[in-house]
Structure 1
Amino acid sequence: MSSSVAHPPPLPPSPSTADAPSRVEVIAVDDAEERQDDEEAREEEEEVKGSVVVRRVPLYKELYEASSRRRDAKLRTLEFEVRLAEKGRLGLEQLADVLPRFGPRKEDEPFVPFTDEDEDSVDHALGGRNRRERLVVHESSNIVITRETLQCLNETEWLNDEVINLYLELLKERELREPNKFLKCHFFNTFFYKKLITGGYDYKSVRRWTTKRKLGYSLLECDKIFVPIHKEVHWCLAVINIRDKKFQFLDSLGSMDMKALRTLARYLVDEVKDKSGQHIDALSWKQEGVKNLPLQENGWDCGMFMLKYIDFYSRDMGLTFGQKHMHYFRKRTAKEILNLRAE
């Protein structure tokens, strides 16, 4: 059982304490409940005389320092956890860098390098002397590619209708081959828009181009519809974007053709009404010139730019290419035509 200790009567100040510059705090404690302190507290030069503890450091300061030590310990723990998390994050980033090495990334696929065999095949096709030699025949479209036809893919040459239209056929076959990898698209050939605007506007002249029996699908089932437009000596592209309900114009020289987009809006209204009897308010859809396009820097790559606009959009990718890639794309297009397979 603990006993209480009474305060002794105050003693007269001695010469040694009367002149002391600091005050001493005297605290009574229970004998059986004598305070247990850590090593740092004992180093504060406590003087214990019986049941009286004489503190040379005020209690509030001791409590504050003890609290600081606890806080510092928590901070050290938190700092360790932060470092651990940071190492984990860096590890995940390194893993993210490594994983793509096990397979091609989507953004890398349009830029796959040539093999030596590819280089030899393309160089032979583009540089051979027998210009009338038939290199490939695409049976379903009945497009014949001779060496002379394919040689439009050489540097400084303008692309012709046969090469453009065969490449568009190959893009459609690519989508059918891997429907989960590419958008559902329709690729009009280079003659469609010319036919549509014969005499100003003539829907009846192209009405039979898009029967479901012929295509296997209706245009409204597509995400995007691509319409090549030829302006005398320059290729442009119009896109009927069904998914986002808008009409888009892409020109590698940076121009805009609102008339072409209004014509295609009118066409879509007539097409849906003719094929399904429904009315679609396509005339109210947004009509825009696509901004921040990669642009050509010469007078002969417009057709190649147009084809790559179509290729990348059908992949549902941004247009991450430029003039510096045109030499590669010309050779790649030649390779894909020779193989009758777009990749």
Structure 2
Amino acid sequence: MPTNSSTKTLIDTKDDEFDSLLQRLTDLTVDETQKDKDAEDALVYKPEILDLKKDILNILIEPQFKDTSFDDRFKDTEIPAPQEIVPPLTDQENAIVDRLFKKGQHGEISSLNKATVSYQDIYRLYPETWLNDEIVNFYFELISDRASKSNNQLPSLYCYNTYFCSTLKDQGFAKVKRWTKRVDIFSKDVLFVPINQSYHWVLGMMDIKNKTVAVYDSLGGNHDHTLDLFLSYLEQEHLDKKKTAFDTSDWQKLTPKDIPRQGNMSDCGAFTCAFAERLSRRKPFNFGQQDMVTIRRRIALNIYNKAI
């Protein structure tokens, strides 16, 4: 039981309440002719009464300091709620991926909108191999396609391609403003920007609904310049398309650190795809370095099937 000053005050208070109850008990049980000071003291200080006083005092205090041992025992035996995990591929799915990964093949595997993946690209999904633009762009097309077919069950989103951020940074807004001439980005919940910075993939996100710009980096780097670039882009895009100013003064800039980290120098692309896939469903990051081989094979299967 805690022994701080607040606890002592509570005990003293309960002790006074007990003494009051004891006095009432004395009044009821001691004959009026015997109720003098000596008789009362004799009653109060009898050993068995003192023990009784301690027992009752514990009962009075107990609700304030609940014994949690039962709760702890319950937690030990409680059946945990199911958590989402990275599901393994079935035997049939693994057989398809094995065929895709067979060396020496040539030609196109899959195309969706303007994205195309060939056998030379799919080999980039081998373990510990850097992903290229074709794989990343195709996967983000799949994420966008799934959201558009979800009947509003998933957040609405728009995915830029892997050349957007570098073009915006190096050549300015004028060079990219026509890239969204057929889409109102401000009607979307989320905008995804896959970014390759010095051979390292990260995920940029502009969350229109929650007024947040963020960069998810599996190496834990800081990206203040990119976050400022996103806010500037949104302001210029709104002014260009809506002809009114766009206030970003209350937007948050985030580079989350409590996210899965890569354990090598080659899986950044797979992490970037996995970040986007979970965020596109508003789901937690349920993966880590140990899941990268499975995630890579799943991406290959998704590309082959043109669906996530």
Structure 2 length as normaliser, TM-score?
A: 0.72
- Matched to 1:155, the amino acid is P
Larger Rg: 1
Partner of 2:165: 193
- Matched to 2:247, the amino acid is D
Partner of 1:142: 114
Question: Is 2:199 aligned against 1:236?
Answer: no
- Matched to 1:114, the amino acid is L
Question: Is 2:141 aligned against 1:166?
Answer: no
Partner of 1:208: 178
Indicate conservation of the 8 Å contact 2:211/2:250, yes or no.
no
Partner of 2:18: none
- Matched to 1:195, the amino acid is T
Percent identity, please.
28
Partner of 1:182: 154
Indicate conservation of the 8 Å contact 1:201/1:263, yes or no.
no
Question: Is 2:89 aligned against 1:117?
Answer: no
Higher relative contact order (CA 8 A, sep 6+): 2
2: CA distance, partners of 1:137 / 1:225: 22
User: Which structure 1 residue ranges, 4+ long, deviate > 3 Å from structure 2?
Assistant: none
* SS of residue paired to 1:127: coil
1: CA distance, partners of 2:169 / 2:204: 14
Q: CA deviation at 1:263?
A: 1.0
Instruction: Please list every run of 5 or more consecutive structure 2 residues that lacks an aligned counterpart in the other structure.
Output: 1-76
Q: CA deviation at 1:229?
A: 1.5
- Matched to 2:233, the amino acid is Y
Structure 1 length as normaliser, TM-score?
A: 0.65
Task: Tell me the alpha carbon deviations over residues 273-313 of structure 1, each in whole angstroms, 9 at most, x when there is no partner.
Answer: 11112221125522121121211110100111111111111
- Matched to 2:173, the amino acid is D
Task: Tell me the alpha carbon deviations over residues 8-45 of structure 1, each in whole angstroms, 9 at most, x when there is no partner.
Answer: xxxxxxxxxxxxxxxxxxxxxxxxxxxxxxxxxxxxxx
Indicate conservation of the 8 Å contact 2:202/2:268, yes or no.
yes
Q: CA deviation at 1:142?
A: 3.1
Indicate conservation of the 8 Å contact 2:190/2:209, yes or no.
yes
Task: Name which of structure 1's ranges 315-324 and 167-176 shifts more when overlaid on structure 2.
Answer: 315-324
1: CA distance, partners of 2:129 / 2:106: 15
Q: CA deviation at 1:129?
A: 2.0
Give the total of aligned pairs: 279
- Matched to 2:89, the amino acid is F
Instruction: Please list every run of 5 or more consecutive structure 1 residues that lacks an aligned counterpart in the other structure.
Output: 1-93
1: CA distance, partners of 2:252 / 2:205: 12
Structure 1 residues 251 and 259, CA gap change in structure 2 (3 angstroms): same
- Matched to 1:190, the amino acid is T
Structure 1 residues 165 and 258, CA gap change in structure 2 (3 angstroms): same
- Matched to 1:264, the amino acid is F
Q: Equivalences for 1:1-343 in 2 at 5 Å?
A: 108=84, 111-132=86-107, 134-138=108-112, 141-198=113-170, 201-203=172-174, 205-211=175-181, 214-215=182-183, 218-342=184-308
Q: CA deviation at 1:117?
A: 1.1
- Matched to 2:229, the amino acid is T
1: CA distance, partners of 2:233 / 2:114: 27
1: CA distance, partners of 2:116 / 2:280: 25
Indicate conservation of the 8 Å contact 1:265/1:283, yes or no.
no
Q: CA deviation at 1:232?
A: 2.0
* SS of residue paired to 1:144: strand
